[in-house]
Amino acid sequence: GDELFNQLAKWQAMSNGLLSVPVVVRCSVGSKYGAQHSQDWSGLAAHVPGLKIIYPATPRDAKGLMASALASDDPVIAFESQRLYDQVELFKDEVPEGSYKIPIGAPDIKRAGSDVTVLTIGPTLYPALEAADLLAGRGVALEIIDARSLVPFDYGPVLESVTKTGRLLLVTEACERGSFAMTLASNVTRFAFGALKAPPRVLGSPNWIVPGADLEHGYFPQPFDIEDAILTDLMGVAGHDRKGSRRWDDLALARSGL
């Protein structure tokens, strides 16, 4: 941690701009490998001033963001979902052969909609897209925005979307407590308070250790969890029959320290 958080992040400022730190650190995180290897700690890195943070979820975005990271004079932490490494069937967009850059900090609308804005971080893009298909059958149109980067972050596209929909769900594989999704939710609440029809909802992993492989799937947000959060918490649909695994009392868990 010292090399990343106390050295790379601070050399430029401590040298009054004399030094540049063109370093890119690749980190695989998130679901796939059980208790000791499945934690998403992107929020920890995002908390440290002086670091840029990218977290692409598609090959096209990964190539463009990596090109921008390699061209930067600032230290960049590149988070990658280890679950997506061998799930090529999820990738729909072709990767351009030539050189191109995607600006660090620019989120991307992956699916247009008018009823609820869903802001995803990393691999949660894919269960969100599945949930969008589920809810389309009920007449609910989700607008899916992939954050792609955490630091810096352009709130403009998200605020424009929330102004249209009035509702925001943020989905992350990180534990909800202390996650960067909580920071995003807080800022959107402040910046777009008058447009909100309901408080933004963060859907992340439970605040306990990742279980073994046979239970891991239900630990991270799945399409039915997203559907439940939208219909119950954001839209207030009476009598909705929950299909996801999130059936606990969030307030009671918070009081217990979980």
Q: pLDDT at position 208, please?
A: 83
CB 124 within 8 A of CB 169: no
137 and 225 housed in the same domain: yes
Lowest-pLDDT range of 28-32, 89-93, 137-141: 28-32
CB contact at 8 A, 112 and 143: yes
Residue 181, pLDDT score = 98
Q: Looking at the structure, do residues 130 and 223 belong to the same domain, yes or no?
A: yes
201 and 132 together in one domain: yes
Query: Looking at the structure, do residues 27 and 123 belong to the same domain, yes or no?
Result: no
The Cβ of residue 20 has, within 10 Å, a number of other Cβ atoms equal to: 13
Q: Residue 36's pLDDT is what?
A: 62
- Is 196 found in the same domain as 164? yes
Q: Quick one: what percent of the chain has pLDDT higher than 90?
A: 72
Can you read off the two tokens belonging to residue 46?
């995002």
* Domain co-membership, 115 together with 243: yes
Average pLDDT over residues 1-29: 93
Calculate mean pLDDT across residues 110-116. 98
Per the domain annotation, does 118 fall within a domain? yes
The pLDDT score that the predictor gives to residue 242 is 82
- 81 plus 113 within the same structural domain: no
Q: Is residue 169 part of a domain?
A: yes
Give the span between the Cα atoms of 229 and 170, in whole angstroms: 10
Residue 101 lies in a domain: no
How many percent of the chain have pLDDT more than 70?
93
Specify the pLDDT at position 248: 64
Q: How high is the pLDDT of residue 32?
A: 64
In a domain, 224, yes or no: yes
Of residues 8 and 255, more confidently modeled: 8
Our count of domains for the chain comes to: 2
CB contact at 8 A, 168 and 201: yes
Residues 174 and 233 in one domain: yes
Do 85 and 213 fall into the same domain?
Answer: no
* Predicted confidence (pLDDT) per residue in 115-166, tens digit: 999 999 999 999 999 999 999 999 999 999 999 999 999 999 999 999 999 9
Whether residues 60 and 115 share a domain: the answer is: no
CA-based max dimension of the chain: 62
Q: Judge whether residue 37 has pLDDT over 70.
A: no
- The CB-based long-range contact list for 36-41 (8 Å cut-off, 24+ gap) reads 37/82, 38/210, 38/216, 39/174, 39/175, 39/210, 40/79, 40/122, 40/172, 40/173, 40/174, 40/175, 40/205, 41/174
Higher pLDDT, 125 or 88: 125
| Mean pLDDT, residues 74-99 taken together | 91
Measure the N-to-C terminal CA separation of the chain; round to a whole number of Å. 25
Does residue 157 belong to any structural domain of this protein? yes
The whole-model pTM stands at 0.93
Of 55, 90, 125, the residue at which a domain comes to its end is 90
Q: CATH number of the domain that 13 lies in? A: 3.40.50.970
Active site residues: 37
Q: 235 and 127 in one domain?
A: yes
Q: Note whether residue 158 is domain-resident.
A: yes
Range of the domain at 67: 2-90
127 and 243 fall within a common domain: yes
Last residue of a domain, one of 60, 90, 120: 90
